[in-house]
Amino acid sequence: MIYFDNVYKVYPDGTKALDGVTLSVKQGEFVSIVGHSGAGKTTLVKLILGEDHPTEGSVSFDSVNLRKIKSKDVPKLRRRIGVIFQDFRLLPNKTAYENVAFAMEVAGKTDDEIASDVPHVLELVDLTKKMWNFPRQLSGGELQRVAIARAIVNQPDLIIADEPTGNLDPINTYEIVQILKKINDMGTTVVLTTHNKGVVEALGKRVITMDHGKITRDDSTGKYAL
């Protein structure tokens, strides 16, 4: 589903963020990407999202070559990918329900689809009781669960979770990881970036270790070797 072929990313100031990365992620996989700060994880994610282009090498998502993608085609690609961030990025003046509904409105879904799907995904992340709360009335773990509901509601093929547990305590971290695992079990590909050794070990799934823009390890059984 995702293919990086000898990808280099050099920023205009000369920083080499990716240094010859080759990797592939198959549909249905759950892949964690680990590495110290500055290793190149965010750059990798930006290239998958089409937010930035490689300096050399190619990045593709299914048959779409992201090096050649035109800006007008990026929204179409982005609809196939749900993204979750460390800082949640919810709209503060909308309730949990409205935050999720808004993602469906933007994608052009009908009122009937919204009315049927939003409660369903909020139930999946165990937030039925709090769906009318505003973000300020929710805990960090609950905010992240709303963000997950929003990311999955349009049934993307891929979920990218960029340090999703970075602001959470261990109990909430565990819950978020279990939800991501459940989403993956339902067939969605998940790419997770994390610093958290416990998360990677609890998952027991494929782990890619990055260092200074290179992949230094690719382990299929959840080993974290930093």
What residues make contact with ligand ADP under the rule CB under 6 A?
Answer: 11, 13, 15, 17, 35, 37-43
Q: Residue 142 or residue 162: which is nearer to ligand ADP going by CB?
A: 162
Where helices occur in the chain by DSSP H, the ranges are 41-48, 74-78, 96-106, 111-124, 140-152, 170-185, 197-203
The least CB distance from residue 127 to ligand ADP, in Å, is: 29
217, containing H or E segment: strand 214-219
Closest contact distance (angstroms) between CB of 85 and ligand ADP is: 12
Nearer to ligand ADP, 163 or 175 (CB): 163
Site of tokens 């998502």: 61
Q: How far is the CB of 195 from ligand ADP (least distance, A)?
A: 9
Name the residue nearer to ligand ADP (CB basis): 98 or 211: 211
CB of 162 to ligand ADP, least distance (A): 8
Q: Closest distance between ligand ADP and the C-beta of residue 86, in Å?
A: 11
User: Could you report how far apart the first and last alpha carbons of the chain are, in Å?
Assistant: 27
Cβ–Cβ < 8 Å for 190, 28: no
Q: Which residue, 22 or 139, is less far from ligand ADP as judged by CB?
A: 22
Tell me how long the chain is: 226
In sequence order, which residues have a C-beta less than 8 Å from that of residue 71 and are 6 or more positions away? none
Residues 6+ apart with CB under 8 A from 65: 58, 59
In a 3-state reduction of DSSP, which class is residue 134? coil
- Residues 187, 76: Cα–Cα separation, whole Å: 21
Question: Least Å distance between CB 222 and ligand ADP?
Answer: 20
Closer to ligand ADP by Cβ: residue 15 or 27: 15
Name which of 41 and 130 has its Cβ closer to ligand ADP: 41
